Amino acid sequence: MTPRSLRRLALPVAISAALLAGCGPQQQTTTTAQPAVVVQQQSESDKANALFEQIFMDNVRRNPVTQTRLGIKDDYDKWQDLSDAHYQAGLELARQHLTMLQAIDVNALDSNTRVSYLLMQRNLEQTLADAKWRLYSYPVNQMFGTHSQVPSLLINQHSISDESDAKAYIARLNAVPTLFSQLQQQLAQRAEAGIIAPKFVFAHVISASENVIKGAPFDDAEDSTLLADFSQKLAKLQLDDNSKKLLLDEAKVALLTSVKPAYTSLISYLQQLEQQADTVDGVWRFKDGDAFYNAALKRTTTTDLTAEQIHQIGLDEVARIHSEMRAIMQKTGFDGDLKAFFNFMQTDAQFYYPDTAEGKAAYLAEATAVIDQMRSRLDELFLVKPKADMIVKAVEPFREQSAGKAFYQQPSMDGSRPGIYYANLYRMSDMPKYELEALAYHEGIPGHHMQLAIAQELTDMPKFRRFGGYTAYIEGWGLYTELLPKEIGLYQNPYSDFGRLAMELWRACRLVVDTGIHAKKWSREDAIQYLLDNTPNTESAIEKAIERYIVMPSQATAYKVGMIKIIELREKAKTALGDKFDIRVFHDVVLKNGAVPLDVLEQLVDEYIAATQA
């Protein structure tokens, strides 16, 4: 597939003409009579899959950022539209899509298409239901937001392979003022509704924004993050020096006349908004905040678990993991209680790389080696492996101070851009050696890269399933794959096995503190103290984590809920199938359908059990 244009994607014949003409469900055209053409009758499944493709493409066309992330270069010079009008048009489009979907005879669909139908129906209904909570979000925060998306997308996903790509990059620089103007309007609407990020968020966001406009051409220091990125990409083009100089000059002008004023205006607005912010952190403080949080939990976990039930699951899991940790502590010969062992793991220099360039390089090299070793063992656990490559990188300096500990960026749709496991090496004391293995497995292989790359490489799935996601499934898989290597003999070092448990403990504690903050009215300090008392993590890492849970209500509950369900389903299959159980086939069932809600995953596993027994 050539990523230059959406028009070059392999679209189903039934819808390609309409899409090429821009005739989605929002438009009508007048046609003249054409000679009769004999065509084969479409099955209901064919019609449904054509509709799924149309819906996916309609939504991709609405968002240039999504296009870029997929490796598509239409609208390569634009940002997403944050206006109310664009949002309302999206809701109307969802209503039209739902009406079109309801015209499909679900009883005439094959089994795979029926699952797709169910998922599409849920997605559209969820989009419409979530409209009432549209303002219940923080468009800028220390984890993500439009202010950091601009440099992140340009640096990591806006590739430059010819002169037109370079001009599109410059056009995006010049479009930042419009984007940020819309952003400020959205922030103002939320402020009017009483929805303002907690006070601690603003220092992070303002600092990250200021970092973007430091360095040349803004001052006399080394090149700024964006100028350095553009210059490096431009240098690789097969262009004459004069053409390169003209493009570089255009980029500098855009940075000075568009990017800097936009960021300066945003920073000024955020400083004003900060004066209205308070230190109450849970979403219970909003109008209908409890209802919003319950809806968020349901969406995140894809279950009907209540906040109280999730809180108790967390407490039970913390107790179990503490017990397993004590067994490892005794194996190492440590003399003391678990709290003392936590302190030993936090403070002993043997567990940390030095906070130097050499130490950071050593961490990345070791993480790469761990992933490579796991890659060599995949045949023991999987029938299908991803085709796309994966690399390990440090989080870039412009966002490392506020970004999370580690995260994964999936490959481009055509595989030309590899998957990336980002490790945040801003403070090496937050990245202990004993957690290195589990973190690499989770973010890389067999974790997120395995699942997300395989999903988007599936050939028998509509694109909305290949590129969609359910947090409980995706993060549940990531956490499950921290355990999986132990079951084939990895984590030979007991401290690494302790690190695995420390990571699982971290996710169990999330169930407690997320519900504590947003449902039980815990303060930020209450939540921090709970993690200090119950985990081996450093205070700085704990503070950053709690701040994450505050700005992303419910998200942190997905990991453990998803992992528990996957293990439960695996044990169910083992018990039912006995000698017929094959871990590779089980993983195939989990992965070959892409990300699905947990109840749908259970249905798929039940079907696999029945088919194997038959």
HEC per residue, 451-466: HHHHHHHCCCCCHHHH
DSSP one-letter string for 213-235? T-SBTTSSSSBPHHHHHHHHHHH
Digit-coded pLDDT (tens) for 7-16: 223 323 222 2
**Residue 204 binned pLDDT confidence (cut-offs 50, 70, 90):** very high
Q: Is the pLDDT of residue 41 over 50?
A: yes
CA–CA separation, 355 vs 350, rounded Å?
Answer: 13
Q: Find out whether 509 and 317 touch, Cβ atoms under 8 Å.
A: no
CA–CA separation, 128 vs 12, rounded Å?
Answer: 27
Q: Find out whether 408 and 449 touch, Cβ atoms under 8 Å.
A: yes
CA–CA separation, 377 vs 373, rounded Å?
Answer: 7
**Residue 541 binned pLDDT confidence (cut-offs 50, 70, 90):** confident
List the strands of the sheet with 419-423, edge to edge. 390-394, 419-423, 406-409
Q: Cα Rg for the chain, rounded, in angstroms?
A: 25
CA–CA separation, 14 vs 8, rounded Å?
Answer: 15
Least confident of 5-14, 27-36, 64-73, 423-432: 5-14
DSSP one-letter string for 388-456? S-EEEEEPPHHHHTTS-SEEEEPPPTTSSS-EEEEE--SSGGGS-GGGHHHHHHHHSTTTHHHHHHHHH
CA–CA separation, 251 vs 420, rounded Å?
Answer: 27
What mean pLDDT is reported for the chain?
92
HEC per residue, 259-285: HHHHHHHHHHHHHHHHCCCCCCCCHHH
Q: What is the pLDDT of residue 380?
A: 97
Q: Is the pLDDT of residue 39 over 60?
A: no
Q: What is the pLDDT of residue 106?
A: 97
Better-scored residue on pLDDT, 30 or 376? 376
**Residue 250 binned pLDDT confidence (cut-offs 50, 70, 90):** very high
Q: What is the pLDDT of residue 34?
A: 47
Q: What is the pLDDT of residue 40?
A: 60
Q: What percent of the chain has pLDDT over 70?
A: 93
Q: Is the pLDDT of residue 533 over 80?
A: yes
Amino acid symbol at 392: V
Q: Find out whether 554 and 475 touch, Cβ atoms under 8 Å.
A: no
Q: What is the pLDDT of residue 22?
A: 31
Helices 448-457 and 583-591, axial angle in degrees (round to 10)? 60
Dihedral of the CA atoms 163, 165, 167, 171 (nearest 10)? 180
- 551 Cβ contact list (under 8 Å, min separation 6): 138, 141, 142, 143, 197, 198, 201
CA–CA separation, 90 vs 93, rounded Å?
Answer: 5
Verdict on whether the full-model pTM lies above 0.95: no
What is the end-to-end Cα distance of the chain in Å, rounded? 40
What are the C-alpha distances in Å from 182 to residues 84, 85, 146, 177, 270?
A: 9, 11, 10, 9, 14
- 41 Cβ contact list (under 8 Å, min separation 6): none
Q: Find out whether 58 and 52 touch, Cβ atoms under 8 Å.
A: no
For the residues 328-348, what does the mean pLDDT come to?
Answer: 94
For the residues 388-413, what does the mean pLDDT come to?
Answer: 87
Q: What is the pLDDT of residue 15?
A: 26
Q: Find out whether 224 and 217 touch, Cβ atoms under 8 Å.
A: yes
Q: In this structure, is the dihedral angle defined by the CA atoms of residues 25, 469, 65 and 414, taken in order, positive or negative?
A: negative
Of the candidates 466, 464, 595, the residue with the CA atom closest to the CA atom of residue 50 = 464
- Beta partners for residue 420, in sequence order: 391, 409
CA–CA separation, 423 vs 439, rounded Å?
Answer: 9
- Beta partners for residue 390, in sequence order: 419
Preceding omega of 446 cis (within 30 degrees of 0): yes
- Beta partners for residue 406, in sequence order: 423
- Tokens 């004590």 correspond to 326
Least confident of 122-131, 410-419, 478-487, 553-562: 410-419
Q: What is the pLDDT of residue 71?
A: 87
Q: Residue 381 carries which DSSP code?
A: T
Q: Find out whether 226 and 212 touch, Cβ atoms under 8 Å.
A: yes
